[in-house]
Amino acid sequence: MSDEIGKPYPRRDGRAKVTGEAVYSYEWPVPGILYGVLVTSNLAKGRITAVDSAAAEREPGVIAVLTPFNAMKLPGGAKPADTGDRVVQVLQDDQILYSNQPVAVAIADTFERALHAAAQVRVSAQALPFTVRMADELHAAFPHDIRTSAGSQPADQLRGDVEAALRRAEHKVEADYETPPETHNPLEPHATLAVWSGDRLTLYDATQGIFGVRKKLAKAFALPPGNVRVITKYVGGGFGCKGSAWSHVVIAALAAKQLGRPVKIALTRPQMFGIVGGRPQTQQKISAAADKDGRLIALRHETVSTTSRFDDFIEPAALVSRHQYQCENIETKHRLVRLDIGTPTYMRAPGESSGSFALESAIDELAHELGIDPIDFRLKNYAETDPIEGKPFSSKSLRRCYELGAERFGWQKRTRRPELVLRAGKLVGTGMATAAYPANYTKASAIARMNPDGTVLVQSGAVDIGGGTYTVMAQVAAETLGVPYEKVKFDLGDTEMPEAPRSGGSITAASVASAVEAACRALRQKLDAMGERPRKPVEALGEVAPSEERKKYALHSFGAQFAEVEVDPDLGMVRVTRLVGAFAAGRILNASLARSQFMGGMVWGIGMALHEHSVYDEKLGRIMTRDLADYHVPSHKDVVIVDPIFIPVEKDDVVDPAGVKGIGEIGITGAAAAIGNAVFNATGKRVRALPITPDKLL
Amino acid sequence: MRLFTFQRAANVDEAVASGAGAAFLAGGTNLVDLMKIEVLNPERVLDVSRLDLAKIELREGALQIGALASNTAVAEHAEVMRAAPGLSQALLSGASPQLRNAATVGGNLLQRTRCAYYRDLGTRCNKREPNSGCDAMEGWTRMHAVLGVSDKCIAAHPSDMCVALYALEAMVRVRGPAGERDIPIGELHLLPGDHPEREFSLRPAELITGVRVPIDALAARSRYVKVRDRQSYAFALASCAAAVQVEGGAIRAARFALGGVGTKPWRVPEAERSMQGRPPTRETFARAAEIALRGAVPRRDNAFKVELAKRTAVRALMLSAGAPS
Ligand SMILES: Cc1cc2nc3c(=O)[nH]c(=O)nc-3n(C[C@H](O)[C@H](O)[C@H](O)COP(=O)(O)OP(=O)(O)OC[C@H]3O[C@@H](n4cnc5c(N)ncnc54)[C@H](O)[C@@H]3O)c2cc1C
Ligand code: SF4
């Protein structure tokens, strides 16, 4: 009963998922359902002049083809519902703004027939000039404020005099780093199922945030939010792309309304590339300098990332440099360029993953230039307080992470200079990097109910995107109420439940756990006041919100990543033979699920370092790597030893009432840099543009 | 997918008799994939997957491999591993275990290119639609060929198995309305030339019944090296099947075929001859590789393949010769 928190309970949804019992959004049994398949544009930019759907409509089972010319007008329009909401393309006008944009939807009585019908639709359009090349638009790069789960922050920041420090520096590194556009590919593609009953809409949607979806749909159809119900019981991976309600969600609701029947739409794998975001490309320039004792005296991190013509998403890649190391002179700048592409979005550790690749590579370069061990160099520049704002950290166990990780990895045995260390004909190298991610927390609510039979039901309108929310919240409730874990059921994923934030920015565990604790504490008080076992259900609501106190601190999780690689000296193939990550992230709610989260992030780090790249055909403005044969993520053979370790309880009374820092994203941060640094150690070659493919090492 | 008629052939004769105008279905890992995205649209699909053509045996100095033997069965066959290890290695370097279990030798021989444009109906492709143009040419060419290209098509041949079979000088046995014939593997695949839509030298209704791999001292030395963007489950950037026989410190016979870089599996007789009588050294092999890549036509994204293919060839030749690298 006590000490439930932290125990390695297996995932409560695990069995249902592996046996196929789990009902995902697309599979919700609804009688009379119609299947929609999007028709997407081949052109990157243009105006639709005609849509010929005659052939498609003649096919058996086809009900309709909705196009900009016959789709109903949305009563509330297609504009975003708030600043965090994305601009969508929902058959309301004739504009083509990027390749693969939805331009029509074919509706039929089976999925196969809808898919075939969609392929028969012919779209005529007048082509307009476009570019998907960052270089073409760099001249028009503009500063843009940063919006993250932690709120809004300025694009630029300057402390001290970076220029002067660089000028007098004895040791410096000035280098350009690049990360390519990448695309999320959760196994479950985006899917939504829309059912109308009069002016009430129910959506079963594969989303990370049901309340955001409700808000958007209520706005589009000019309904009070209460008329829209969103249900999400299982999500087959989100990683950020399911953080927003994209075009297909509105189109499904629109088609269902117009046709007077329930409609569901799932994106095909190729449709994942462009319509529903992706990590934007970045170009980052780092200028870093140290004095002869190895103290960082200047750090400048300038980053440019891409967004669409019609919406602003910024990858805050230079944020990491505002917090990572002690330095008197720090400057960071964020710029955006507009291209004729679909709007990018949050992708696991947006900013911190791409930004840490640049910063942590540059730090490695500087340590090498100084002839100092990379850990020693980082320790010399350890930030005891936030380097820009001077605030104390609510908790920071990075030193311990370096120690634990180095010991586990065997860092002491490393040779510093890149030398040709051969093992079975392969060059072997090691590298490390710092990992860090903000400890986000926001308002959330939950309700707890004690039943007369002693069972407990706790509910919150959060979602479980695979991280283990169902499981850990039951643990938190059991411990807070002092009842056995088995007696507690935690339910989620319904807008009829108390509101919880979108599952993004590693925010759910911290926020919802705090709300669950609050609800359970309130319930405990009620029960204690009653004195005896209740004869009817007793409920209590818990609501939490960030305190003023929190603002006085810098709040982050930290970690250290260590990589060992083998590189074929002639053929350039890289294999990450070992990855060790040591993390400190507040109180760990479930040791087994936490390990999975860290591990998943680290594996993605291998993909970021070596594989992932959404390759554009610049002439067509189209992503050509649109399936999982061409868009590479690590295969089993690419993942050899991935070994995350963590501090079970990093005490933190400030971060949030539950003392939890999110762990969904930190695992990827620093990983690509550690691998790149190991490749340098093995080969003497510094690859500054990801992914590190064989051709770059020839 | 378009509507089609499905038939199942009871035996080889029936398959050949009703094969005209139909697509033979074996493992389906390539055909069905392409039908789903409406790149291949046969009106008739003739299932040959249950025909009695899955035998693998060593007979008359050759490995006789039935067209319906699975890629896994061939790769893991004891005689294959012993007598032609390069073939086993090539197969194991391809696709994934699940795919190899389903994929057959016949289907692997005729698998279509992985050119991303060929698979994308939103682009122009001469192979898919004759004379419509080729968007790959000025586009993303990283996975494309540098050898055997034409101004109509630069698609790389994708198979690993075929590269090994070519180095082993395999014969492909086919049965058609006019009877049985053997096609040297080097003549099965056509260069794109002016007609990239013509991919194979098979005649209408010809069914592949098997492959014959001559077994000799050279085959026993065969090795396969594949370079790719990840450790598994990726098509070759460059690959090489090599077989080198050394006697008294000199190369007696040597063959090598390249994959990932040609519009078909690639061999250059002059390059192979250049090694004859020479010591099995890096220099000898590098010279042969140099000759093999003469005439390469690199493009922006695949220029690296010229150097990579040379190094891959040298590695495979060294391994086959047992030379220290
Ligand atoms: C994701 C993915 C990755 C892959 N990676 C690789 C790789 O790395 N290396 C590699 O080499 N391959 C790879 N492959 C391709 C794989 O090897 C082929 O799909 C497989 O070998 C085809 O065999 P099949 O029996 O399934 O052929 P099918 O799909 O049944 O047929 C393919 C073609 O051959 C014809 N055909 C089949 N049998 C006969 C016959 N007996 N006579 C005449 N015609 C016939 C069919 O009509 C069709 O045109 C990959 C495939 C996929 C999907
Ligand atoms: S290279 Fe060949 S297969 Fe690819 S698009 Fe061009 S013509 Fe088609």
**For residue A545, pLDDT beyond 90:** yes
B229–A638 C-beta distance less than 8 A: no
- Complex ipTM more than 0.95, yes or no: yes
Three-state DSSP class for B171? strand
pLDDT digits (tens, 9 = 90+) for A86-123: 999 999 999 999 999 999 999 999 999 999 999 999 99
Name the least confident of A354-363, A530-539, B89-98, B268-277: A530-539
* A409 and A470 belong to one structural domain: no
**For residue A153, pLDDT beyond 70:** yes
**Residues A160-188, mean pLDDT to the nearest whole number:** 97
* Minimal CA separation from A113 to chain B, in Å: 8
State the pLDDT at residue A629: 94
pLDDT digits (tens, 9 = 90+) for A309-365: 999 999 999 999 999 999 999 999 999 999 999 999 999 999 999 999 999 999 999
Angle between helices A671-683 and A352-370 (to 10 degrees): 30
Cβ-nearest to A636 among B2, B122, B232 = B232
Which residue, A545, A561, A577, sits at the end of a domain?
Answer: A545
Confidence of residue A61 (pLDDT cuts 50, 70, 90): very high
Q: What is the CATH number of the domain that holds A309?
A: 3.30.365.10
Which residue, A479, A513, A545, sits at the end of a domain?
Answer: A545
Domain assignment present for residue A660? The answer is: yes
**Residues A680-694, mean pLDDT to the nearest whole number:** 97
Pairing of strands A282-290, A122-127: unpaired
* A683 and A655 belong to one structural domain: yes
State the pLDDT at residue B324: 67
The response to whether residue B259 sits with its C-beta less than 6 Å from ligand 1 reads: no
Quote the percentage of chain A above a pLDDT of 70.
Answer: 99
Judged by its nearest atom, the ligand closest to the C-alpha of residue B139 is 2
Nearest to A667 by CA among A585, A575, A576: A585
* A671 and A577 belong to one structural domain: yes
pLDDT digits (tens, 9 = 90+) for B24-38: 999 999 999 999 999
pLDDT digits (tens, 9 = 90+) for B235-278: 999 999 999 999 999 999 999 999 999 999 999 999 999 999 99
Q: What CA–CA distance (Å, rounded) separates A585 from A470? A: 20
pLDDT digits (tens, 9 = 90+) for B211-229: 999 999 999 999 999 999 9
For residue B5, report the distance from its CA to the centre of ligand 1, in Å.
21
Please state, rounded to an integer, the average pLDDT across all residues of chain A. 96
* A395 and A416 belong to one structural domain: yes
Considering the domain delimited by B221-321, tell me its CATH architecture. Answer: 2-Layer Sandwich (3.30)
State the pLDDT at residue A418: 63
**Residues A284-300, mean pLDDT to the nearest whole number:** 97
Burial call A665-683: b when 16+ CB within 10 Å, e when fewer: bbbbbbbbbbbbbbbbbbb
**For residue A213, pLDDT beyond 70:** yes
C-beta neighbour count of B21 within 10 angstroms: 11
* A521 and A616 belong to one structural domain: no
* A49 and A120 belong to one structural domain: yes
- Using omega within 30 degrees of 0 as the cis cutoff, is the peptide bond preceding A691 cis? yes
Q: Quick one: which H or E segment has residue A304?
A: strand A296-307
Cβ-nearest to A620 among B123, B227, B307 = B123
Q: Pocket of ligand 2, candidates B37, B39, B112, B126: which has the most ligand atoms within 8 Å of its Cβ, to mutate?
A: B126
Q: What CA–CA distance (Å, rounded) separates A315 from B144? A: 32
Domain assignment present for residue A414? The answer is: yes
The count of structural domains within chain A is: 3
Quote the percentage of chain B above a pLDDT of 70.
Answer: 99
State the pLDDT at residue A1: 52
For residue B158, report the distance from its CA to the centre of ligand 2, in Å.
13
Domain assignment present for residue A134? The answer is: no
Cβ-nearest to A635 among B119, B230, B308 = B230
Q: Which residues contact A559 (CB under 8 A, 6 or more apart)?
A: A398, A401, A405, A434, A435, A436, A581, A582, A583, A584, A585, A646, A666, A667, A669, A670
* A95 and A200 belong to one structural domain: yes
Domain that holds residue A223: 32-128+191-272
The domains of chain B are located at: 5-47, 221-321
- Based on the residue annotation, tell me whether A389 is a catalytic residue of this protein: no
Confidence of residue A251 (pLDDT cuts 50, 70, 90): very high
Taking the CA atoms of chain B, what radius of gyration do you get in angstroms? Answer: 19
Contacts of B2 in chain A (CB under 8 A): 116
Name the least confident of A18-22, A149-153, A231-235: A149-153
Domain assignment present for residue A26? The answer is: no
pLDDT digits (tens, 9 = 90+) for A15-49: 999 999 999 999 999 999 999 999 999 999 999 99
* A647 and A526 belong to one structural domain: no
Neighbouring-strand partners of residue A178: A283, A689
0.90 surpassed by pTM: yes
Minimum Cα–Cα distance from A570: chain B residue: B311
Quote the percentage of chain A above a pLDDT of 90.
Answer: 96
pLDDT digits (tens, 9 = 90+) for B155-197: 999 999 999 999 999 999 999 999 999 999 999 999 999 999 9
* A256 and A224 belong to one structural domain: yes
Nearest residue CA, atom 6 of ligand 2? Answer: B134
Q: What CA–CA distance (Å, rounded) separates A645 from A664? A: 15
Q: Quick one: which H or E segment has residue A414?
A: none
* A583 and A472 belong to one structural domain: no
Considering the domain delimited by B5-47, tell me its CATH architecture. Answer: 2-Layer Sandwich (3.30)
* A536 and A507 belong to one structural domain: yes
pLDDT digits (tens, 9 = 90+) for B60-85: 999 999 999 999 999 999 999 999 99
Domain assignment present for residue A164? The answer is: no
For residue A359, report the distance from its CA to the centre of ligand 1, in Å.
45
The response to whether residue B33 sits with its C-beta less than 6 Å from ligand 1 reads: yes
State the pLDDT at residue B325: 56
State the pLDDT at residue A419: 63
Angle between helices A247-259 and A210-220 (to 10 degrees): 50
State the pLDDT at residue A532: 80
Domain assignment present for residue A148? The answer is: no
